[in-house]
Structure 1
């Protein structure tokens, strides 16, 4: 029998408008909410931005939630599968979508000079990935099936890993918990996940797709 989630996780209390407001205040990094983009965002390689997204409590709680559910899939994607769980299985898709819509999309529009209504109506495929020294250690070089991709660092208790961009000859090893990077998905930023040497690496990936 597959495990089910209990309702006693604070991270799952977000269904009313008041609860959503409390949830944002509790988990979203206030630096992102401030919209002081030029002060809080770095661009280590062209077209890739690093930004504060969530706080450490969110990252810790969602890892605990995923491991409690323990319904990792290994074959959702045909070409470059990851060991992952969709956030809808954690009852977090809608609040995560709203977080992107409310706090990240305005940043993307500003930093990429995006034009048109479709950027405010993107579909989001959100999933938590687990890289492990005893299971899936890496992901081969690839493009994403997205217009833009967000990669959120959830922990730093691992050795190795990181995202490599061969065009720029750059390895980005996000180890600041709650920080994320965003880059174009399916054209310019060919990339892959370097192998884990020890421990477990957890990230949340969001494929943002225009309609």
Structure 2
């Protein structure tokens, strides 16, 4: 009656808010309502259809997600000039005044439910968390055969230090949904793939229930807007308050058509449990695992070696020599072992060990004769017992490595020579043995410059070895594992491989820019 009777409204002194000056119902009209900031940075909900700024927002049904998005900003939650006024003011436990034995008990669940590289580094980082292990109840679910040993090594090293631990390691009858039920405010640290916009949260949900990009997604990921944000989906790393867990009744089975993490988040949305993502600090990053399963299928012994493209940051941490980046400093002088022969740290000992193991795992060493069907023309002038990078499907990866890590050093020491990207056809691991091929006669390399990397230890794995440069009356031991000896190829640097007298010596050779 009041809505239809204008006279009654006038008598009662009631007006209709038909243009949303006071109230804004979001259901069905989210496209009309957008976020604006006034001159002092205060966030306002703006109705573009009526050019009004409603004071009260209401969302029901599917519009609740949009209400949550607006609530991240309005009511002085976030300012375009001052940022997040309540960040850093949230109540925190003062652990400095507590005995570590009385720290809150934390349950942490680790799920390895698909092929993922660098699990070893993840577990080691987890073990270094600055929190007493005796106050952590640990749950590990691993369904991947390739990670069984890694998990066992972790448990052997750290397992006894945790308060309790429950582990499913390997192929078990328990499935991921059941395992997550074992583990069970919901908040996730913002984690992104390095250099990409792929993260562990969604800013919005499309009508089909999958990802949709919100207006503020890029700003949050790039930390142009810092705070904690109400979002419809979080995954990968999630912190759940123990009080919330009492309300959780099989959320991972809530929608069996969806993946377990999507089922959990749909349950949380439908039941009114807010999920937040926090980007106040840099909490880490996500491992890229999309193509990793294909490397595993090819039967590689150390599949992480093939991850230089997808996971360069953590690949460097494992496989690049720890002293390498110091070489790039302007004031660092790279020493010459002989005239124009530079010796410098390039790859880690682990890289060297795993490269040897990959080559022996492949096992098809050349005969060491001049006949070589791998080469155009089938003839090798200076033959060695070797395996080419192409044979183990590592050619593209090693070319990239040469361009990214060797070329900058070359440009630093051989001034005025630039060639990007580098080119190389001959990239191979050589095996020297006294009873096979102990040495290599004097020769010039078919390259503009070459690098030889020592892969194993003199005095431990072999005796003898080294490289002689007759023209300069100079011998380089070339026996520091992971160090590269870099020198000009044709014309100036005639050289020979000195005899290996005992054991087996491995070197990785690259003829760059032939």
Question: Are 2:277 and 1:21 equivalent residues in the alignment?
Answer: no
Structure 1 residues 109 and 184, CA, compared in 2 at 3 Å: closer, same or farther? same
Q: How does 1:3-82 map to 2 (within 5 A)?
A: 6-14=299-307, 17-34=309-326, 35-36=328-329, 39=332, 41-73=334-366, 74-75=368-369, 76=372, 78-82=380-384
* Contact 1:31–1:40 (CA under 8 A) maintained in structure 2: no
Counterpart CA distance in 2 for 1:72 and 1:92 is 16
Q: Distance in 1 between matches of 2:302 and 2:437?
A: 28
More RCO (CA 8 Å, sep 6+): 1
Which residue of 447, 453, 464 corresponds with 1:152?
A: 453
Shift of 1:20: 3.3
Alignment of 1:194-209 (within 5 A): 194-209=498-513
- 2:406 is matched with 104
User: Which ranges of structure 1 fall in alignment gaps of 5 or more residues?
Assistant: none
* Aligned-partner Cα distance in 2 for 1:166–1:38: 31
What CA distance in whole angstroms lies between the structure 2 residues aligned with 1:10 and 1:40? 35
Deviations along 1:8-29, one digit per CA (max 9) or x if unpaired, are 52444417x4323322231011
User: Partner of 1:137 in structure 2?
Assistant: 438
CA contact (8 A) 2:385 2:437 kept: yes
SS at match of 2:356: helix
8 A contact 1:13–1:19 mirrored in 2: no
- Aligned-pair distance for 1:81? 0.3
Cα offsets for 1:129-187 (capped at 9, x unmatched): 00001100110001111100100000122111111111111111111100011000001
Change (3 A) 1:79 1:115: closer
**What TM-score do you get using the length of structure 1 for normalisation?**
0.89
Structure 2 gap segments, 5+ residues each = 1-296, 373-378
Provide closer, same or farther for how the CA distance between residues 40 and 180 of structure 1 changes in structure 2, counting only shifts above 3 A.
farther
Q: Which runs of 4+ in 1 moved over 6 A?
A: none
Q: Quick one: which of 101, 120, 131 aligns to 2:420? A: 120
**Whole-angstrom CA distance in 1 between matches of 2:417 and 2:446:** 21
* In structure 1, distance between residues paired with 2:330 and 2:390: 29
Distance verdict in 2 for CA 1:178–1:62, change over 3 Å: same
Distance 1:139 1:177 in 2: 20
Q: Which of these two proteins has the greater Rg computed from alpha carbons?
A: 2
Counterpart contact for 2:306–2:397, Cα < 8 Å = no
1:173 to 459, 470, 477: 477
Q: Deviations over 1:73-100 (max 9, x none)?
A: 1244521101000012122222221111
RMSD: 2.0
